Amino acid sequence: MVFYLARADNGVIGGDGRIPWRIPGEQRRFKAMTMAKPMVMGRKTFESFPSPLPGRRHIVLTRSPGWSAQGAEIARDKAEALVLAGEVPEIAVIGGAGIFDIFLGDADRIELTEVHCAPEGDAIVPPFDAETWRETAREDHPAEEGRPAFSYVTLVRRT
């Protein structure tokens, strides 16, 4: 299981259902890394997309009774989400904050975009514990024309 997320230096991953920054190329990277994989997400994350993302299954974990949406496979709890994902080489967990918390003990890798800014937001993911996670790759990018500096970071669970 792999987490895919972008997080600001202050832990913010979103605000009012939106990502508070624009990083050209990040969406292409996300698409390449999640293509053909089942993606597990919360309802608010699913609703933040203009439409379901092509080439990927959307497993939506929600407590909202009766909620449904075209392109969403509904799970009411963690176990049901895992059953829906099935026996696959990788499950992509894409948020939001509560979903990351639910699956943290199951993840073995985190693909993190560290966004070097401190925006306002209502969705927060705390730093990942260095005693549990080891950094295995980092690619730093400087700030440019209205875009903050950012780093692509891969974390792997220590054994």
129-140 tens-digit pLDDT: 999 999 999 999
Q: Is residue 67 part of a domain?
A: yes
Domain boundaries, position 93: 26-109
Task: State the pLDDT at residue 159.
Answer: 87
Question: CA 130 to CA 57: how far, in whole Å?
Answer: 31
What pLDDT sits at residue 24?
A: 85
51 inside domain: yes
CA distance 77 to 102: 10
Evaluate whether 12 touches 121 at the Cβ level (below 8 Å). Answer: yes
Summarize the confidence of residues 103-123 as an average pLDDT.
Answer: 97
Identify the H or E element spanning 84.
helix 78-85
Q: How many structural domains does the chain have? A: 1
In a domain, 31, yes or no: yes
In a domain, 119, yes or no: no
* Residue 150 domain-assigned (yes or no): no
Q: Which CATH number belongs to the domain containing residue 78 in this structure?
A: 3.40.430.10
pLDDT band at 82 (very low <50, low <70, confident <90, very high): very high
> Residue 10 domain-assigned?
no
Answer whether residue 94 is part of any domain: yes
Share of the chain above pLDDT 70, in %: 100
pLDDT digits (tens, 9 = 90+) for 4-63: 999 999 999 999 889 999 998 899 999 999 999 999 999 999 999 999 999 999 999 999
Residue whose structure tokens are 């497993």: 59
Assigned domain for 30 exists: yes
Tracing tokens 């990351």 back to the chain, one arrives at 100
Give the pLDDT score at 17: 86
